[in-house]
Amino acid sequence: MSDNKTGNGTSRRAFLRGAAAAGAGALSATAAKAQSPDPLITELQPWAQGFGDGVDATPYGLPIEFEGDVIRRNVEWLTADTVSSINFTPIHALDGTITPQGCAFERHHSGAIELRKEDYRLMLNGLVDTPLVFSYADLERFPRENHVYFCECAANTGMEWAGAQLNGAQFTHGMIHNMEYTGVPLRTLLEEAGLDMAGDLSDKWVYVEGADASSNGRSIPMEKALDDCLIAFKANGEALRKEHGYPVRLVVPGWEGNMWVKWIRRIEVTDGPIESREETSKYTDVLENGIARKWTWAMDAKSVVTSPSPQAPITHGKGPLVITGLAWSGRGAITRVDVSKDGGMTWESARLAKPGEKMALTRFYLDTDWDGSEMMLQSRAMDDTGYIQPTKTQLREVRGLNSIYHNNCIQTWLVRSNGEAENVEVS
């Protein structure tokens, strides 16, 4: 079709020419100029001279070897052994929001167990009409839902209370993952067992426990159990990995990771909390006045710059720089993230990659022009309840210095002119 016939061809060609020119201009700031001949451009490379792997080489793929450092890591001195321990998601090296299962942090109290679907049973007992036992195949016959949620261990950032401690976003903020879960609402199973939905359920609880030796028992108020808890058996489209609770785990959106019971084997409807070890001596917060706050379930809004950060230094000179990070809130959706380059004195609004989704990670970007000078990088999240992520000083005023869990304070990275970054604290 000729330009004359369409009537707009000329202007379209002109537009394309303009776009090409603009593109070249923008690129010249970042892409290397081809001054000397580049063999990668001018010479035929080995990978273009033969065949690659056949389709039968990798029935189930792993990341290419060049990405071999994008892995979970643990901090050896943190725990006495590896079965009651934790490792951390390499958030400094990931982008987008979905955490691949293969590098999503693990937290076990007695190791990751191996439980076949055929051997799996879920018991629902207590204050219900008909106590039930479900097999895996039974669970697959209830209507399913899909939801993306983050899971954050209450201990995430817990080592940072007393001062800047660990040098990397992976270690300071990597006890978090964000996956798309497929499962059956807990509500559906409670209805199936004849829980009296018309009755007064305000004083009712569920006690949930896992099939592992630790059992990790937790009490959950009935209102939450009926609201959005999920009995999940798939994550990111495939079966849960062993370490995340295969074949079935509980998902408790927005609430501390400890409640997300893996290898879930029993749900008991009770008329009060059990006050188990995991909800009394552990996962409670000692406040400034020395008194422990009984239960902090929802994870407050929090964010962190993932790059640049100590494990992800700037490797180029001044000019265009992408600052990026993650934000989340256990009480709702992220509405705004601000970034500071001067330790919190001035702030710029970051761009959210997508509008925030409830109780899921939100990716933010600040596309900036770096003048090569030192930065004190911070990010500050806001959620749809109007809550603003606090500074470390603000948090310490309420929580004192003896806390371990639920540290959602603003993080600071000192980024030097050579691009290297370090975990620091500003007062």
In the complex, the residues that contact Co ion under the rule CB under 5 A are: 107, 153, 257-258
Stretch of 75-83, 161-169, 256-264, 365-373 lying at the interface with ligand MTE (CB under 6 A):
256-264
Q: Taking Cα atoms as reference points, which of 10, 215, 226, 241 lies closest to residue 104?
A: 241
Tell me the two tokens of residue 163: 């001062």
Its sign, for the CA torsion 388, 328, 249, 196, is positive
Q: How far is the CB of 420 from ligand MTE (least distance, A)?
A: 30
According to the binding rule CB under 6 A, does residue 406 interact with ligand MTE?
A: no
Is 289 within 8 Å of 324 (Cβ atoms)? no
Pick one of Co ion, ligand MTE, none as the site partner of residue 390 (Cβ within 5 to 8 A by kind): none
Pick one of ligand MTE, Co ion, none as the site partner of residue 285 (Cβ within 5 to 8 A by kind): none
Residue nearest to Co ion (CB): 153
User: Contact with ligand MTE (CB under 6 A): which of 91, 92, 99, 105?
Assistant: 105
Stretch of 255-263, 336-344, 369-377, 403-411 lying at the interface with ligand MTE (CB under 6 A):
255-263
- The helix (run of H) or strand (run of E) holding residue 225 is helix 222-227
Q: How far is the CB of 243 from ligand MTE (least distance, A)?
A: 6
In sequence order, the 6+-apart residues with CB closer than 8 A to the CB of 78 are: 85, 86, 159
* Cβ count within 10 A of residue 49: 7
SS3 263: coil
Residue nearest to ligand MTE (CB): 210
Scan residues 24-83 and list those touching ligand MTE (CB under 6 A): none
CA-atom Rg of the chain in angstroms:
25
SS3 122: strand
Q: Taking Cα atoms as reference points, which of 177, 182, 184, 179 lies closest to residue 148?
A: 179
Site string for ligand MTE, 194-233 (x = CB under 6 A): ----------------x-x-x-x-----------------
Q: How far is the CB of 212 from ligand MTE (least distance, A)?
A: 5
Site string for ligand MTE, 124-163 (x = CB under 6 A): ---------------------------x-x----------
Sequential DSSP letters for 351-395: EESS---TTS-EEEEEEEEE-S--EEEEEEEEETT--BPPPHHHH
Q: Which is nearer to ligand MTE, 263 or 413 (CB)?
A: 263
Is 273 within 8 Å of 379 (Cβ atoms)? no
CA distances from 394 to 252, 346, 381 (A): 28, 18, 15
Q: How far is the CB of 11 from ligand MTE (least distance, A)?
A: 55
Q: How far is the CB of 265 from Co ion (least distance, A)?
A: 19
Stretch of 57-65, 106-114, 140-148, 398-406 lying at the interface with ligand MTE (CB under 6 A):
106-114
Question: Interface with ligand MTE by CB under 6 A: which residues?
Answer: 104-109, 151, 153, 177, 210, 212, 214, 216, 243-244, 257-258, 260-263
